[in-house]
Amino acid sequence: MTTHSESNDYWVFGYGSLMWRPGFPFAEMVPAHLDGFRRDMCIQSIHYRGTSDVPGLVSGLMPGGTCKGRAYLIEQKDVVDVIAYLDERELVTDVYLPQHHDVALDDGRAVSARVYLADVTHDQFAGHWPLEDKITYLLQGTGTEGRSLEYLANIIGQLGELEIEDEGLSALLNHAQARE
């Protein structure tokens, strides 16, 4: 039975680095999934996992499919600060679009959560790139938070902890590691 959480609850859905490094206080963390969007390595990173001269690649949510990740309940007293922190972190180049979408928690609750979607019209969007180009950017990208390849490995590791298999990302990681 699905139940809806309290309407004044504030949730954030994490599908990339927010899964292992949220960086904000939360009252609860629950495995969750978002229907209608899929995770892909589809954003050129010119800050955290690359530079403007040598971009890397990070994940974003694109239309279609289902994305599994983690949902975080934010206490009301922290909501304003958490949003400010997340917007500063995620909107460095405005390649993400903050929106609210229904998310299903693994414990049966349905919540509305803040989600950062890839802006498919942004110059940094790379969702349409062929595999070889994505591998090149994964291997070359190093920024203030480390390597793009390490970032992808961290996503795969977090998904493993949630017992989630993402065959596309796993294959991408394997191809990139084989070429390194």
Whether the predicted pLDDT of 32 surpasses 90: yes
Query: Who's near 129: CB < 8 A, 6+ residues apart?
Result: 42
pLDDT of residue 1: 43
Mean pLDDT taken over the chain = 94
Beta bridge partners of 32: 69, 105
Q: What is the pTM of this model?
A: 0.91
pLDDT of residue 19: 92
Looking up residue 115, the CATH number of its domain turns out to be 3.10.490.10
What's the structural domain count of the chain? 1
CA-CA distance, 124 to 127, in Å (whole number)? 9
Beta carbons of 126 and 133 less than 8 angstroms apart:
yes
**Residue 175 has which token pair?**
């191809």
Write the pLDDT tens digit of every residue in 120-179: 999 999 999 999 999 999 999 999 999 999 999 999 999 998 888 899 999 999 999 999
Domain of 38? 3-179
**Residue 147 has which token pair?**
């390597």
Write the pLDDT tens digit of every residue in 39-54: 999 999 999 999 999 9
